[in-house]
Structure formats: C-alpha cells, structure tokens
Amino acid sequence: MNYDWIVSPILLNHFGFGWSGTRGHGRGLDPRHGNEYLQVPGIPLDAPAIPAMTIAGYVEFGNADQSGDARWDQTRTFLDTVSWTKGRHQMKFGGEVWFQSKRAVSTLNNGGVAGTANFGRLETDNPASPTYGSAGDAFASFFLGQVDQSHRYICGPSAEPCTRTKRFPYAAFHFNDTIQLTPKLTLSAGLRYDLPFPQRDEDSNRMSAISLTAPNPAAGGRPGAYLFGNSAVVPGPDKKEFGPRVSLAYQLNPRTVVRAGYGIIYSQTNANADGGTQFGNGIEAGFSFAQNIVNTTSGVQPVWWLDNGYPAFTGKLPDQNPGLQVGSTADYYALSGAKQSYVESWQLSIQRELPLQNFIDVAYVASAGKRLPSALENGLNQVPFQYLSLGGLLNAPFDSPEAVAAGIVAPYPGFSGSVAQALRPYPQYTGIDDPFQPIGFSTYHSLQTKLQKRFSQGLSYIVSYTLQKTITDTSNEAYSAFNSGARDTARRGLEKSIAGLDRSHLLVASFVYELPGRKLTGPAGKIVGGWEVAGVAKYYSGTPVSIGGGGPIPLFAGGNRPNRIPGVDQRTGASRGDFKPGGSDAGGTPYLNINAWSQPAPFTLGNGSRTEPGLRGFPLFNEDLSFIKRTYVNESVNVEFRAEFFNLFNRVIFFDPSTDTTDPINFGRSFGQANVPRHIQFGLKINF
C-alpha cells in the first residue's frame, strides 16, 4: 500500500506499508492433522507433520523427515520518504522499519515433534540361523510394529508441539542530495544508516549458547560453559553501520559523458537474517532434546513397538545446567555475528555516442566485500597446529602409555577421549557450532565494455564484454554453515584464492531485427511483413577447479589438499577434437594430469590452494535464435507465430572433471554433458 501526498509543487511525501507472509507445508501429504492419521502413542495428535515410517526397500509413508516445514513467516514494512526540490538541489530523505518473524526450521525438520520410525528386516529374521541377516522383511517388521530405530524432537516435558519463532527487526534512515553544480556537472551525495537487530527468540528465555570464558562446573571449571536467555546469548545490534555514497557525472561534450562513483552498501546477512540457527543444537540446547533411539541388539529386539508408542522422555526440560552438552556439540553465538556484510564499491566510466544511434561504454568497476558469511572459524575448537608433530599419537587414547610418556594429561576430571581431544581449547566439547561467522572477504576488479544500438531502421543490438577477477577466502553461500572451512583457523590466509564462480571472460551479444516489409499492405503484407529475428549468444570462460586430496589431519580443522608439483603441466594436452568424456572402461580421455599433484607426507599440509589459479573447467558457449511472425487481422488483433531454437548449434558443455587425487582411476575425467542439447519449440498465440 502506498500513499503520496503532494504538499507543494516542490515537496512530496511518500508513505508505504507492506506485508508479506509465507505459509506452507512443503511435505507432500497434508500435515495439518499430524498424528491423527496414525495415532502413534506418545506423538501429539496435532503434530505439524505425519510421523515418517521408513520401510527399508519400500516406499516411505509419512512426511516428518522431509525437507521444508509447516511455517508461518511474516514481514511488515513501514517506510516514509520526503522528496524536496529547492533550487539546484533535489533532496530525498526518510527511513524504513521492518518487523520480521520466522518460524524456526529446527522444530520441524529431521522428524520434528512428529518423529521418524525406521523398519528393517532383521526384526523378522531368525537370530539363531547361521544366515541371520539375509532373510526377514522390513514390511513384515512394519506390520508387526517392530521399530528398528527412531528419532524425534522434544521441546517440552510431554513432547508437546512447540512454536518457536525468531524475530529480527530492522531499521534504516537515509539522506541523498543531487546537486546540479553546473549545466555539465552533477553531484550526488548521500548517507544511509542501517540498524539491524540480530535474530532472537520470541520467548526471551529460550535461547542458549556457550560463553568461551565462563567456567564449566562439569569440566573442572575449564572455560567454556552454557549461558541461557536472549540477554545472555544474543549480542546487541551493530550501531556503526554508516553507508556513505557519492557520484559524479560530467558532460565533456555533447556526445561524451564521464561518470564516477563510490559507496558502501550493507546487506541483511549473518545473525540479522533468517537461517543458520537450524544447525547444531539450534541455539536452544536445554530447551529441546533430540531423542535418537538406536538398536543395540543388531535387530534381535525392536527398540520399541508401534502399539506401545514412543518411549517416554524421562529427562528434564528446560535444563539450564551450565555444564550442558559436555561430551557433545555446543553452540556459540559470536559477538561479531550481529554485524552485517557490506560491499565497498567504486567505478569510473565513460560513455560516447557514435553515429547511427550507437553508444559505447567503457567502465572500470571494482568492489571489496567485507564481513561476508564464512566458515573460517569452524575450527574454533581446533587443536593448535603445533601439535601436528605428534603424528599418530593424536589418535591414541589420552591415557595410553605413549601419551603419558609424551606428557599428555587429562584436561579435567572424568575426561575420556583421544590425545587430540585432550589438546583442544575446549576439550569438554566434541565440536562448537558457530552459525554466524562474518569474517570473510572478497575483492572484485573488472573492465566492462558495452556497444549498444538503440532501435532504429528495424535493428537494435547490445554487445558486452567483461574482463574480471574475484578473489575471496570463503565460498558463495548465504549461511556460514554452507561455506567451506579453513584448514587452519589461525592461518585463514591459506584460504585466499580465486573465487569458485569466477569467470575471467564474459562475452554476450544480443540483437533484434525487424525484416523489411512491415509497411506492405494486402496479401503481400500478410506474407512478407511482420517478420522479426532475435538472438542471444553467450561465451564464458570456465570456473576455477579445486583439487582434492591429502592425508587426514586429526586436529578437528578443515580438510587437507595435495601438493602441486612445479613445472608439470596440469592438463593432459588432449585437444578439443580428441577429448571424450567417461571412464577408462568407456574409452574416456582425462582432461587433467594426475602427475601434476602428489600426496603430502603424513601429518603435513599440502601446498595446493583452495582453487587452482591457472586451471579452469570447461567454458560455456551457447547461441539461441528465434523467428517471430506477426500477422495483423485488424488494428487490435494479431496472430503471433514463434519458432525458437535453444542451443542453436547443439554445443556440448561437459561437466567439470573429477578432481579427487585419491581416486586416480577417475581423476581428471568428465562424466557427461552439463548443458541441455539443442531444443526447438514452436508457439502460436492470438493477441487482442
């Protein structure tokens, strides 16, 4: 809803209100009746999904374990902008406020409160038989109600359904002034202030995460213990997010304009956006419980019977013990998580008008991304690399004679685990999940050119070419959890490399041409007139290749990489005409030379980079062409016929090759076609 108030000829006020909601289930079967269909004891009748029954070798029934969720997400937006023209100034100022709420995914996915029940054949096999394990039938186990294993999410003493809603309001204020300094020079300057609030639970007491300094009573007072409640867990908003921006436009002569600009733009990311908290314990350990019931009898006995229902939960909820999760995974909500990502961008361009309605643009465009979502601190509980010299001893029990001789001691009373676990900064936890890690960066530099012809004499076209490079230390995912981790958290510079989606060269050309004869009348006009041809051609270089391999590094950090051997060609030299996809058994041709890499010595890091700077996958070439014929019946009605050719020349773009050096048989080989073969379609429609 928008309302514009013209206060005076030079003053305008624009008010807007918006509401958007997403309500859906995304689970195939209608989940609104939940357990009313099956009535499994112990599961709430109004659970937000149908309990999932997975029968080995058969089709699954139910939908509680499927992706998607029964959710109710809402965003309410209020904004007000004042436009004021005074002399040479055109000013705009105002603000906006967002009220966002999203139902947490963790209450529903992976079984949720409705739960899962798996059925196998072992329960209906004969454990006394020498062939035990080869007979039985999972469907028979299902009919008998013999559950082999199960999982469900419990968020209350009675496993009642819970509605966990996250809220993260957002406010912004802005001012901009466009000044006509001279008839040829225009200056635009502005400032935007963003005030994002990190996501927090609607229930102010429900969130939980560890403090890295609080003493843990269950770990001998070592630093690292749980805190509870929004005020203790969630950091305050970042109040320093000022985004200045300035631009200039100068007319050198009637045919030439020079433009320059600089700006800082924030984006709603990290803890100020949805996502992230569905991983780990969902930032709610102690307020919920994942009940995993695993069969420890090799199927001799079921873990429970459907008629009897889920085993009762005997634990305590909520459980606000600071020593929670000792021996398991903990959540951590970093103070930096409240900071939004931002992009600092700058550009300089020149535009020149050419004869015949042609225009050429040449621009230098660059940017630097800061505080990007990353997983570079996934190794928050990583063993320091100095201990890698212990080699295989890292995997030994901490109290083994060899470990004792090396001076390894228990980090706290009651500890049990490996030497590596004992040497972790927080040995009481097997992992620390940090869903918001705004420490990634990127740099982008490009030369962008464009030749454009405005429509005249029946013809228009655009030809653009970009030469670019993007360097980053993270992936391209919106959530930290989906990005690749660092091999060593203390040396994040090892992850700096060409971005995985970088394409050095991009050439795109498109045109629309109306064939002569449009003004013809009579039968000739019906046949010859109204024809139009349009086409688009794209030519991109390939994206960088990442080479995998390297031995295990038992420090609870990121993975390893192989060694790059200098002086050895990374490609096999197979020509375009000789290359053939597929494995060796199908006569496939390797694209990469495995002899250009080697496995590093045990317990050492390889020298390979996250992406290989000089090695690219297959380029993309594609052309599309369409023919359009419009026949006018009268002034208001016409018949349109279209013939469209996609991938006109039937080009084949192969999948990027396999890059796992530990699989020498398939390394360097491409398996199949990545693009769609030539596709032709015809269309006929009546416009009136």
DSSP one-letter string for 314-377: -S-SS---TTTTTTSEEE---GGGGPPEEEEEEEEEEEEEETTTEEEEEEEEEEEEEEEE-BTT
- Answer whether the bond into residue 619 is a cis peptide, omega within 30°: no
How would you class 684 by CB atoms within 10 Å of its CB: exposed for 0-12, middle for 13-18, buried for 19 or more? exposed
Cα distances (Å, whole numbers) of residue 125 to 53, 70, 139, 656: 20, 38, 12, 46
Q: Got the DSSP string for 535-599? A: EEEEEEPPPBP--B-----TTTS----PEEPTTS-SB----TTT---S-GGGT---SB-GGGEEP
In the prediction, which pLDDT does 27 show? 47
- Quote the CA–CA distance of 684 and 454 in Å, as a whole number: 28
Low-confidence ranges of the chain (pLDDT < 70): 23-34, 65-71, 104-111, 156-163, 274-280, 478-479, 481, 517-522, 524-526, 576
- Strand ranges (DSSP E) for 9-167? 11-24, 52-55, 71-86, 89-103, 116-119, 146-147, 149-154, 165-167
Half-sphere exposure (CA, 13 Å, Cβ side) for 226? Answer: 27
- Quote the CA–CA distance of 360 and 384 in Å, as a whole number: 55
Cβ–Cβ under 8 Å, residues 426 and 432: yes
- Quote the CA–CA distance of 34 and 266 in Å, as a whole number: 41
pTM: 0.86
- One-letter identity of residue 379: G
307-308-314 Cα angle (round to 5): 155
- Quote the CA–CA distance of 195 and 97 in Å, as a whole number: 9
Cβ–Cβ under 8 Å, residues 52 and 117: yes
Q: For the chain, which residues make up each domain, given as ranges?
A: 2-70+100-167+198-236+267-336, 383-423, 503-545+564-600+612-687
Secondary structure of residue 107 in the 3-state scheme:
helix
Tell me the per-residue pLDDT of 78-130, one tens digit each, with 9 for 90 and over.
999 999 999 999 999 999 999 988 876 555 555 677 888 999 988 998 888 88
How would you class 577 by CB atoms within 10 Å of its CB: exposed for 0-12, middle for 13-18, buried for 19 or more? exposed
- One-letter identity of residue 244: P
